[in-house]
Amino acid sequence: MLENFLRDLEELVNLDCGTHNTAGVTRAAQIMKRHFEAMGWTAELVDLGESVGRGLFATNKPGAQRYDVLMNAHLDTVFADGTASAQPFRREGNLVTGPGCSDCKAGVLAILYALQGADPADLDRLAIAVCMDPDEETGSKYSAEWMRSVAARTKTGLVFEAARASGALVRSRKGAYQLRVTLKGVAAHSGNNPKAGRSAILEAAHMIAEISALSDFDGTGVTVNVGTISGGSAINVVAADCAFGVDIRGWTDADMQATLEKITARAAHPCIDGVTICVEVLGATPAMPRTEASASLVEKINRAAELSGVSIDWVDAGGASDANHMAPSGITVADGLGPIGNHAHSDRECLMVDSIEPRVRMASRLLSLL
C-alpha cells in the first residue's frame, strides 16, 4: 500500500496547484475523480465559478439525501507556479518533501486509501460524501457554501488536514474575524498650526492600545491582533488619515461577536474630538467549538487509534481550516486526520512517511465505529 500511496502522491505533488492556478487545481481534481471511479464510486467535478479550479465530489451512495460521513481535504496549495519543478517530490529516508506534500495532498490521498482499506460492510452501511475543495488556502471563499450545504445533510465530518508534527489531531479551532478600521482626522501644518489639526494617527494609536488589551489569553482565549497599519501624508503634516487591520480570534462565535461589539463601541467614541472612525468586517470564519458531540467523536477516534495500534493526542488550534466552515451546519467534526506533516507553507514542508500507513488504517477503522 505504501509504495502505491507514494507513487500517487508524487503525481499530485509534482503538479503546480497554487489556489490561483485554476488549471492545476482542476487537474488534481481530475486525477482524484479517476481514482474514485476506479474504486467504483460516483465522482464529479464541481464548478464553483471561474475564479477557482474545480472541486471534487465523490460518493458511494449517489442520490442520497443524507450522509453519515463527510470526508474533506483541499486540492490547492499556497505555492507559486514553478515550485513543483524547482522542488519536486523527493523521498529521503522517512521524509517526503515537495509543495503541498502534507498540506494537503497526503490528506487527499489518505481519504482515498482509507476508503479502499475500509471494511466492505461499513461502505455498504454508510452513506459517505467526499468533498475536495479548490481554495482552502485563500479562505474557501468560493467553496464554503458548497461544503456547508453537504455538511448540513451529514452527521459526522472528518477533515484530513495533516496531523501536527507531534502526531496530534485537532478537536476544536478558533474562528476569525478580519476588520478594517478607517480613521479620518483633520490635516494641518505641524509647525505653524498644529492645534488646528486632528490626528487620525494619534487616535489610532490610542485605540490600538485599548482594543489590543481586549486579548484574554488565559481566560476566554479571545485575541485581538492589529497586523497592518498605514496613514499620514508627510512627516510635517498632522495626519488626516489612518487605517489598520484587526484579526479577532475566539473559541466561540459569541466571544468574537462580543469583542467586535466592544471595538465598534470604542469607534463610536474617539478620544480626539473631530476624528471619525469606521469599522468594516472584511471576513468572518466561524469557530469550530468543542461540544458534547465532538467529545464523543474524539472518543471514537481514540478507540480507532487504539484498535489500530496508533498513539494519538489532541490539540485545540488557533488557526482555521475547512472544518470551521462546516461546524455551524450542525455536523460533528474533527480535523487533523491526515498523515503527520511539518513546516507547512514553507520550502521545508515535509511528510512523515512512517505515519502514512497507521493514519490511513486508523481512518478505515474509524468508519466501523461511526
**Cα-based torsion angle of the residue sequence 53, 59, 62, 65 in order, rounded to the nearest 10 degrees:** -90
Give residue 337's identity as a one-letter amino acid code.
L
**Cα-based torsion angle of the residue sequence 27, 32, 35, 41 in order, rounded to the nearest 10 degrees:** -130
> Smallest gap, in angstroms, from Cβ of residue 249 to Zn ion?
17
Find the part of the chain contacting Zn ion (CB under 5 A) among 51-59, 103-111, 216-224, 237-245.
103-111
> Smallest gap, in angstroms, from Cβ of residue 74 to Zn ion?
8
What the block records as the C-alpha cell of 58 is: 465523490
133 touches Zn ion (CB under 5 A): no
> Smallest gap, in angstroms, from Cβ of residue 120 to Zn ion?
33
Strand partners, 231: 242
Nearest CB to Zn ion, comparing residues 103 and 122: 103
> Smallest gap, in angstroms, from Cβ of residue 155 to Zn ion?
26
Nearest CB to Zn ion, comparing residues 52 and 305: 52
> Smallest gap, in angstroms, from Cβ of residue 283 to Zn ion?
17
Number of H helices, E strands in the chain: 11, 19
Nearest CB to Zn ion, comparing residues 10 and 103: 103
> Smallest gap, in angstroms, from Cβ of residue 138 to Zn ion?
10
Find the part of the chain contacting Zn ion (CB under 5 A) among 50-58, 98-106, 167-175, 265-273.
98-106
Nearest CB to Zn ion, comparing residues 140 and 199: 140
**Binding-site size, Zn ion (CB under 5 A):** 1
Nearest CB to Zn ion, comparing residues 122 and 137: 137
Nearest CB to Zn ion, comparing residues 242 and 320: 320
Helix (H) or strand (E) holding 229: strand 223-231
Three-state DSSP class for residue 26: helix
Strand partners, 352: 95
Q: From its phi and psi, is residue 84 left (phi > 0), alpha (psi between -120 and 50) or beta?
A: alpha
Helices (H), 219-334: 253-267, 292-308, 322-326
Instruction: Please check whether residue 118 is in contact with residue 287, taking contact to mean a CB–CB distance below 8 angstroms.
Output: no
Nearest CB to Zn ion, comparing residues 103 and 322: 103
Closest residue to bound Zn ion by CB: 103
Sites for Zn ion among residues 217-236 (CB under 5 A): none
What sign for the dihedral angle of Cα 142, 34, 77, 362? positive
Using CB atoms within 10 Å of the CB of residue 290, give its burial: 0 to 12 exposed, 13 to 18 middle, 19+ buried. Answer: middle
> Smallest gap, in angstroms, from Cβ of residue 104 to Zn ion?
7
> Smallest gap, in angstroms, from Cβ of residue 255 to Zn ion?
24
Nearest CB to Zn ion, comparing residues 164 and 262: 164
Find the part of the chain contacting Zn ion (CB under 5 A) among 91-99, 101-109, 251-259, 295-303.
101-109
Find the part of the chain contacting Zn ion (CB under 5 A) among 95-103, 181-189, 227-235, 346-354.
95-103
For residue 106, report the phi and psi dihedrals to the nearest 5 degrees. -65, -30
Figure out which of the listed residues 10, 103, 135, 255 binds Zn ion, where binding follows CB under 5 A. 103
Instruction: Please check whether residue 50 is in contact with residue 75, taking contact to mean a CB–CB distance below 8 angstroms.
Output: no
Helix (H) or strand (E) holding 368: helix 356-369
**What residues line the site for Zn ion (CB under 5 A)?**
103
